[in-house]
Chains A and B, each alone.
Chain A
Amino acid sequence: MHLVIIGNGITGVTCALTARRLRPEARITLVSAESAHHFSRPALMYVYLGDLRYQDIKPYEDWFWAENRLELVHATATGLNAATKTVQLDNGPALSYDKLLLATGSRGRRGIWPGSELTGVQTFVTLPDLELMTRDTRQGVREAVIVGGGLIGVELAEMLAVKGIRVTMLIRDARYWGSVLPPEEAALVQHQLDAHHILTRYATGLEQIIGDANGRVRAVRTTDGRELPCQWLGLAIGVEPNLDLAKLGGLETDRGVLVDEHLQTSAPDVYAAGDCAQLRVVAQGEVAVEQLWYTGRQQGETVAHTLCGAAPRPYRRGQWFNSAKFFDLEYQTYGRVPAEPVTGELSFCWQHPTRAALLRINFRSDSLAVTGLNVLGLRQRHDTWAAWLQAGTPVTEVLANLGAANFDPEFFRQYEKIIVADFNQQFPQHAVQLRRRKGLFRV
């Protein structure tokens, strides 16, 4: 079997590694236009920051691919013929496949603003984006503007601020990442932005991008009519699937490449997974297009089983989890914590009065089963929370054993006692006794 994978991001690579394990004899080829080797996309920011070099963000050393007989092709796939089962490349002969996986990922959305073609205006998703940003911020950038208050927006803010550039963020919502974070969490992130001298303008959008005589961005006009000078503009308003190849191959697409529950596209032996795939049927509470490192990895693994095995394996989203870091503030979430209250659910939110530490547990008002956790400035154990959420453990039981989920390093202040006391004050009818604290010799 010859398995050809278009895209060497986390989805394509996870599929290749899983396929290699399942089918030791298979021929596996990874095609990528972006980079010769797989690299960690969330780590691109650290290369710009100077924390890491490009070679440090490669998850595997270069010998790894040849030793595991994974063929790497550094080329752009320019055509797909599902009838003859071939993929055309821009710099070599066409590749014939038995099975094909499209893991083409996504690119930054650019919007439709006038002036978005100016030098110094860009998105930040890919390695070429990083090179462009490196080139365009080397000299003469004193002020920068970022459009969008999400994860990429705050990454860009940190990158620029560390280089001594004054950053203004234009954020459409009334608070930071308002579609995801409840107000208390957003307020803590706001403290980080303030402490690092990032200017934020909420409920404000971009109106127009203004260039200078050399075709470089000079300023932006905002929706509230202000003109902000800037020599660099970052567009961080989300990402959109790369559909060029799928469209060339005549696959059915919508926002992404349409796939069934086995991640199969409209063409036989052609599959799609990761950022670029759109599920035709979506389960309750899930989304059709997910652009996350973790879901990309899950989809890559799932589709490998289908590609290699007799029995197709359906994709199951599984429990939600995610994490991020906002400047110096770490964020972890397990299960679902909606940004706004929902009926049938109660929310317990504890916050340290002075330190940057927050814990929020959502639970069913009837059964008390926990449904989600947010922590900021604290670390919680994923496996423990996964088990609690899976079993629908009552919040009272969870709080009594909260020490078991503490993943903070040794000697860090333990908050379980005051968290439980705070819970008992907020929910006296469910008062809890803390049974388990974190110990030096426990896991």
Chain B
Amino acid sequence: MDSSQTLTADAPLPEVAGTEKLLLSLVALGLLLLLPATFDADAWRARWCFYAALGLLSAGTLGWAAWKYGRKPPGVHNHNLWLRASTSRGAVAWVTGLVLTGFYVILYWFSSPDDQGNFGPLNQLVHALDPVSQLLRNRPSDQWFLYGTFYTLAILLMGGRALWKYRHSPYHLIRTGVLMFFQLGFAFLLPGLLLAFQRPEFYFSYFWPLKPEYLFPDTVGYLLKDGGPGLGVFMVFWTAVISLVGVPVLTYFFGKRWYCSWVCGCGGLAETAGDPYRQLADTSRTAWKWEVRIIYTVLVVIVLLTALLWVGASGAVPALASVTQPLSQAYGFAIGSVFSGVIGVGFYPLMGARVWCRFGCPMAAYLGLLQKHFSRFRITTNGAQCISCGNCSNVCEMGIDVKQYAQRGEPIIRASCVGCGMCSTACPRGVLNLENGPREGRYQGSQLIHADSLRILS
């Protein structure tokens, strides 16, 4: 039935209530106020607009979430997501994507300060944060402090929304709370305080190879020198031990979710600000083929690059320095800026919130290999109860076609799974459960259903 392809677009939408319109206009007004905050020549007026914008955005977002989810009994509410332009790649989504992408382009390439300390188009926004920066970091604001503030605010506000939306699930309440804690504490306040005390700005929640430079010889040298004998050594020790020992051990017990859905800032933004877009992840086999091609390439490149840099630093091959330096810069540009930033967040409203995590992040690749081969974690399918409805695949932000496993009674053991737990939450028959059982029989499916042995990925 060809006409059924358009069924989704045709289904009726409920009327938007007056209260909801009002709360959403607060958000819109907040976004609009960022324009005078950016362009008004009067610095005081711009600053006033900036804080008013943040206030309106906060009040509007939290108020809207409380109104939208608080009025209804707790439960899974993904209704109408495929009917609204904002969450189904409609015009609103394209505009949002363009604005986000544009912001990242300006941030990365057009906002470095010139001789007069002018931060380009972002100058007024950056300076509006001077008082906050002085308070926290004991120094004036810069473009990265502006970015960090926006990023943290997005996680906190949309995290508040997620807490309302998923309040029936202790798993999501705790997980979202922990994500908000790590972003605010470990990725915003602590690095700022370190700066205030004249120490290296260090993120204790990011590790090699997501933050590869933490195990590059230059950074290690700088941390040891500027961090001082106590703190600097601890920072290098922390990075090395977590990256090489902590990651395998924790992943063995809990799967990669301990990092990707509980600690990581990229995951934090995806799980909160990206939550309305999770259904946009492509679950097709074609997407999976691109995923494995790209993500393991990035992992190989960063491992080789790290090794080369150390060989170069050892001085064993003097000619190497001329190769590793541009290589390192190219990686920073292509992967660090374009992939994780511009595409990773800019394309949220078009491709879902985990584009970077799924296709590009070398940390996710590393964790994924461990999860697939050296972990107790699996998502168990409950006997023969699956009805192939597709809700699990729809909410999977990593684009895993979860139902392919569930409808065969098989456990889901996939390198890419970040263990957010949404498939389990969305399942209307209680079929899926995240478990850390023993490794014996981990791939064992239910005896109550006879899986067809036809291939789904190859």
Contact = CB atoms under 8 A, between A and B. Distances in A.
B376 interface: yes
A54 B388 contact: no
A441 B84 CA distance: 41
Contacts of B429: 323-325, 330, 332
B171 A412 contact: yes
Given A56-B394, A409-B424, A330 B430 contact: yes
A325 B428 contact: yes
Interface stretch (A262-270, A376-384, A416-424): A376-384
Nearest to A195: B73
A163 B12 contact: yes
A68 B83 CA distance: 33
Nearest to B10: A134
Interface centre among B170, B382, B404 (most CB of A within 10 A): B382
A297 B452 CA distance: 12
A24 to B, nearest CB: 11
A55 B425 CA distance: 21
A58 B452 CA distance: 16
B322 interface: no
Nearest to B441: A443
A18 B14 contact: no
Contact of B10 (A21, A34, A138): A138
Given A47-B7, A134-B12, A412 B170 contact: yes
Instruction: State the majority secondary structure of interface residues on B.
Output: loop
A410 B434 contact: yes
Interface centre among B8, B12, B14 (most CB of A within 10 A): B12
A321 B2 CA distance: 35
A59 B407 CA distance: 8
Interface in B427-458: 428-430, 433-438, 446-450, 452-454, 456
A14 B174 CA distance: 40
B454 A21 contact: yes
B417 to A, nearest CB: 15
Interface in A375-395: 379, 381-383, 386
Contacts of A443: 380, 435, 437-438
B428 A441 contact: no
A21 B453 contact: yes
B11 A50 contact: yes
A17 interface: yes
Interface stretch (A35-43, A175-183, A222-230): A35-43
B11 A134 contact: yes
Interface string B1-25: 1111101101111110000000000
A438 to B, nearest CB: 10
Tier of interface size on chain A: 35 or more
Contacts of A46: 389-391
Nearest to A158: B79
B31 interface: no
A50 B391 contact: no
Contacts of A409: 169-171, 421, 424-425, 433-434
A239 B168 CA distance: 34
Given A20-B454, A52-B82, A56-B390, A328 B168 contact: yes
Interface in B272-287: 284-285
A53 B75 contact: no
B390 A383 contact: no
A63 interface: yes
Contacts of A410: 171, 434
A137 B387 contact: no
Nearest to B81: A50
A323 B389 contact: no
B78 interface: yes
A47 B11 contact: yes
A54 B170 contact: no
A46 B388 CA distance: 12
A142 B419 CA distance: 41
B433 A51 contact: no
A5 B3 CA distance: 24
B391 to A, nearest CB: 7
B384 A321 contact: yes
Contact of A127 (B1, B75, B403): B1
Contact of B388 (A17, A40, A196): A40
B393 interface: yes
A143 interface: no
B76 interface: yes
B118 interface: no
Interface in A176-197: 192, 195-196
A57 interface: yes
Interface in B239-295: 253, 284-285
Interface in A133-172: 134-135, 137-139, 141, 162-164
B163 to A, nearest CB: 14
A164 B14 contact: yes
A195 B73 CA distance: 7
A286 interface: no
A441 to B, nearest CB: 5
Nearest to A191: B73
A131 B4 contact: yes
Given A59-B407, A382-B382, A382-B448, A328 B3 contact: no
A51 B81 contact: yes
A43 B4 contact: no
B383 interface: yes
A381 B1 CA distance: 38
Contacts of B111: none
Contacts of A164: 14-15
Given A52-B82, A61-B401, A382-B384, 5 more contacts: A10-B388, A49-B11, A54-B7, A297-B449, A386-B448
Interface of A: 10, 14, 17-18, 20-21, 34-36, 40, 42-43, 46-61, 63-64, 68, 74, 127-128, 130-131, 134-135, 137-139, 141, 162-164, 192, 195-196, 293-294, 297, 301, 321, 323-325, 327-328, 330, 332, 379, 381-383, 386, 407-413, 440-443
21 contacts: A40-B390, A50-B11, A50-B81, A50-B82, A50-B83, A52-B389, A53-B8, A53-B82, A55-B5, A56-B393, A59-B390, A134-B7, A141-B12, A294-B384, A294-B385, A325-B429, A386-B383, A407-B380, A411-B174, A441-B436, A443-B438
